[in-house]
Structure 1
Amino acid sequence: MTNNKVLTAPVPTSEAQTAPAAPMSSALVWLMAISCGLVVANIYYNQPLLAEIGRTFGLSDSNVSLIATATQIGYTLGLLFVVPLGDKLERKRLILIELVLAAVVMGIAAWAPSFTVLLVASVWIGIFSAVPQLLIPMAANLASNEERGKIVGKVMSGLLIGILLSRTISGYVGAHFGWRTVFEAGAVAMLLLVAVLAVKLPKDQPVFEGTYGSLMKSLVTLTREFVPLRRAALVGGFLFASFSVFWTTLVFFLEGSPYFYKSDVVGFFGLVGACGALAAPMAGKMADKRGADYAIGLGILAGLVAFVVLGLIGQFLVGLVLGIILLDVGVQGAHISNQSRIFALLPEARSRLNTVYMTAYFIGGSVGSVVGGAAWTAFGWHGVCVVGLLFVLLAFLANKFYGRSQEPATART
């Protein structure tokens, strides 16, 4: 049985947290979605720019790919040590502080005199860009039980569009104005967002009144108590590893034979992946109506087919586009369904549940970036596709078998 004393320390669940008095306004939902997109873009601006950054500092493909890895590691650290505070501190204030600090480190990255400075700044960019993982549990708290999956899906669609369009925008701006301009623009965007959210974002009071130490200890308790949380973390981590394997190495593939594209064209492939964002609200609705297992299974299947397509016909534009669509729809659809499931486990601990899940998610992403870079260097495009396929297969096995005998059949929805 869940140790609620450790998890809530000692405040009971607030009715306001689980049954909002009024539906969320459409304007607020879209404000949160746009905010998620603008902030998460900080993490992905660098991917289409890796080749240009490498030329600036005289680095090999494998070395410059550490920029993407460092940013994801930083994001993981932010998830683990900052996002849990959303259950303890007033979320709006925490979000605004994070955004100001994100603007500062984006500015440092823009003017980095060396690769080492850029690498360190990238870690901090990741740490202070964990704001979406505060906004998403906030949206889950404000939503009604009947619409939680749909609203989380809508907010997540903004995040996903930010991930994908960030590559398009940074690729174009980087090719025409230089990679440093991308980071400068990102810093300005964070400051503008602070001004808007300070006025428009509602306050969201926490229910946890324990110490920071007990807050962090409760992460272990939550992980131990909830089998669906552990399974979601494994599935999400493996799927995001496959996603990172692909997107970290795509720029190198497209700049060589048979495509020979520059970063502005490479960035536009993010538009192709925008289909994943379109799948987010649909996945949320599907999880509300047919259960998370069904949506997750479809997402994993799409990921498996994606890497087969990319490996067999990725050298042709139609095959590459089809593979990107399948991969993004599959990974993001499964991700939304995983989050819908874990947010229903313990309403007063949504930030911490999200922390456990998203920490595993981005550990997977960091591993995928490293392994993907190594696979590209050693085996080229087909090595990348094989590694991505293996990560999706691990997600399938985790979803199919992990912890199934430890939970009742009624929990498998």
Structure 2
Amino acid sequence: MTLRYMSGFGNEFASEALPGALPVGQNSPQHCPYGLYAEQLSGSPFTAPRGANARSWLYRIRPSVRHVGRFERRDFPFWKSAPARDESDLPLGPYRWGPPTMPDDALTFPAGLRVMTTAGDVDARSGMAAGLYFVTRSMAEDYFYDADGELLILPQEGALRFVTELGAMEISPGEIGVVPRGVKFKAELVAGPARGYVCENYGAPFTLPDRGPIGANCLANARDFEAPVAAFEDIERPCRLTVKWGGKFFVCALDHSPLDVVAWHGNYAPYKYDLRRFSPVGALLFDHPDPSIFCVLTAPSERKGTPDLDFLIFPERWLVAEHTFRPPWFHMNAMSEFMGLIYGRYDAKPDGFLPGGVSLHDCMLPHGPDAESFEQATRATLAPQKLAGTLAFMLETRLPQHVTHYAAALETLQIDYSDCWAGLARRFCGTR
């Protein structure tokens, strides 16, 4: 399959798979071209300000009311939703997991999703769920959409192709994909099993952060985000559509594919982004900036300056600061941090934090570099240094993250994780 994309985050797009399928100058004409149905997909309240109003017009073979039947409950036992405060009896503390083994079972994307932490309340449209996915089988006659939130997908091994209502996008390690709330899709393997990280964002959709004094350039640039070009399935055969709604799953039988949008225009669409196009900024002389300079996407809350959720990366970059402790410093934070490593080594914990692994440092729990990293960083000759071949990420939320039973029972849980700081001995000598 040849995939085509349109560039520009948040822009108004227009795409048609058949010439003339898009009506000109009128969203809902009395007779749509090709006998299509006009339908609006709204991702925000109708009265949202222009800058926050998210919607797309879809011109499809059948309206979505034909894509639902008599729903029955379906169970994905490892996909948990907040609030899930009593899932685990683990005591308070920082936690770290090694990469779990790929399961042998035949798992599609929804069946292979494993939530590790939840925060907030799915019904209150605030917070998130974060975890891993394992995919060993493509979704053939299965389709899915999430009414609870948008999905941020970060491949770690193997590529996935997300075939959505508005077109297809393929994402590989080093890239991300976002599927908005309510958009139907199926996930297909590209070449062998795939695994990675996933975040379900219950709150406001991700957007680019304000750059403030940084100005108009650097960080993630809007032109590098890509939306799929219209493509459709005109397939009539038995299939199933599963919906996640209110933290539960419901399935109905269909006699046709729901991915039948022939043309669309709007600003509410799936998108992908190559994280290697992120342009980092940093200290050019001394001192250590806050990690906010690594923010790729943010989900705002009702409180200005306090996001519901931030997505940050720690990519390949140069370190040049003088007379400065260069790794991430010791700190306590009002936000709670879920971290993963796509590839390479993480400079604050180069040995215990592995690609495919996870760490959790919750709200107001102290953390920082391990004893070995501290010793090396304080004794290093501070010549310019390039952190090469590394890509870590962090999901940072204002809400406490609660560990699920799945995460607590994982055999890769490093119960001795906090021992990495045991070697930080008293250094105080009483004199300068």
TM-score range, shorter chain: under 0.3
Task: Write 1 or 2 for the structure with the bigger share of helix.
Answer: 1
User: More relative contact order in 1 or in 2 (CA 8 Å, sep 6+)?
Assistant: 1
Of Structure 1 and Structure 2, the greater strand share is in 2
Q: TM-score, normalised by structure 2?
A: 0.25
What is the TM-score when the length of structure 1 is the normalising length?
Answer: 0.26
